[in-house]
Amino acid sequence: MAYRDDSSRHGEAEWLTLGQAARFLGVAQSTIRKWSDQGRVPAFYTPGGHRRYRRADLEAFLDRSGPGRSREGPLVLLVDDDERVRELVRVTLELEGYSVSEAGSAEEGMAAIERRKPDLVLLDVMMPHVDGWEMLRRVQDRWGAGAIPVVMFSGKVDEESEREAASRGARGFVGKPFDLQQLIDQTKQIAPV
């Protein structure tokens, strides 16, 4: 489909470049590129092969799945010391309809649970000071095993890690870098929107 750089009723361009669309949605260019590849955000291509996004399509995407929704979805607590990972996962889950709170350490995560019990905890294994396994044990000691579902994730992915997660009472295990669709699927199984 060809595109025209028309102006909308407010003088804003109807068609946005990849960078403009990413800023409009508040996500990284790689994120919107992936959403386009998955068919979640319609993209059109110029004769030179560049992506263009229609402003109305982006607004519709935000209306149906963005963080500005009127209803509040299940609360997911994301505990990871890497701020970039937290941002990517938070934005992805918010667009799926979840409310997301973040913690950069096990201590912050425990405090967040005290304030408001989440429907699911996504917990990084490798963190400084107190690792994810220790936080999982503390959550189970404080609230009971299985009372708060926990999905562990780690850059070290092997069958032993997955078995260890299951044996320690975690509901799932996801490797890093994330397969975001796998993370979304596991989240939806445990805490449906």
- Is the model's pTM score more than 0.75? no
For the stretch 66-101, pLDDT in tens is 554 444 789 999 999 999 889 888 888 988 889 999
Can you say whether residue 36 is alpha, beta or left, with left for phi > 0 and alpha for psi between -120 and 50 degrees?
alpha
User: 15-17 and 51-54: which strand pairing?
Assistant: antiparallel
Of how many residues is the chain composed?
A: 193
Return d(Cα 85, Cα 145) in angstroms, integer: 27
Max distance between CA atoms of the chain, in angstroms, equals 60
- Structural domains of the chain in order of their starting residue, each with its CATH number: 15-65 (1.10.1660.10), 75-190 (3.40.50.2300)
In this predicted model, what pLDDT tens digit does every residue of 156-180 receive, in sequence order? 767 777 788 888 888 988 877 767 7
pLDDT digits (tens, 9 = 90+) for 26-77: 888 888 888 888 777 888 888 988 999 999 888 877 776 655 444 478 999 9
Given a contact cutoff of 8 angstroms between Cβ atoms, the answer to whether 73 and 98 are in contact is: yes
